[in-house]
Structure 1
């Protein structure tokens, strides 16, 4: 076994107050995995894969904890919204530009997510 948790998963309880940080941790993990994949595609294969594995691991652990207390549909919507913002922020930070069409599309995705949760 690659990991050995100190606590059984059944011992972990997620009070609702911890949901927002765990949602952000899940989204950040997926965004970190995206950074790793972008790095690997730019020629930094070993570093990129390491970053992607760490990101997916973080996202997986945070999402498992969340799933113990919150419906998957709620988690998915919140994580997609947070990840969209994080990935778009990263893309801007590394110099990738968004066309007006892409920016409007991203806004529509976020608006749609808000409409579904309202």
Structure 2
């Protein structure tokens, strides 16, 4: 399937997941560089880059980044929680502010 055929929301999700996967790879690499960590970083950034390039043709940049950052925040905070990293009130507040910003600019 060609990337152009995907709807903007699906591409935004793909970009956010790509960034989330790359972040997970970086977290793994922070403990030890492995082939899995490197593969996650490369594949995540490739997916994110390809999705964003296509999205930038039709979606205003200001909206695009808030959508992707909001989705990526949800992915990364969920991952951090799942591996036992405590989430402080500051983390929850930061995430909430990102979602509030998304709500403000959405149509």
**What TM-score bracket applies, with the shorter chain setting the length?**
0.7 to 0.9
Unaligned runs of 5+ in 1: 1-6
Q: What TM-score comes out, normalization by structure 1 length?
A: 0.79
SS in 2 for 1:68: coil
**d(CA) in 2 for partners of 1:117 and 1:73?**
10
Where in structure 2 are there 5+ consecutive unaligned residues?
none
Partner of 2:48: 59
Are 1:69 and 2:64 matched, yes or no? no
CA distance in 2 between partners of 1:63 and 1:44 (Å)? 27
Q: Is the 8 A contact 2:15 2:68 kept in 1?
A: yes
- Structural RMSD (CA): 1.9
CA distance in 1 between counterparts of 2:84 and 2:12 reads 27
Contact 1:33–1:53 (CA under 8 A) maintained in structure 2: yes
Structure ID, larger Rg: 1
Moved over 6 A (4+): none
TM-score normalised by the chain length of structure 2: 0.87
Kindly tell me the number of residue pairs found equivalent between the two proteins. Answer: 106
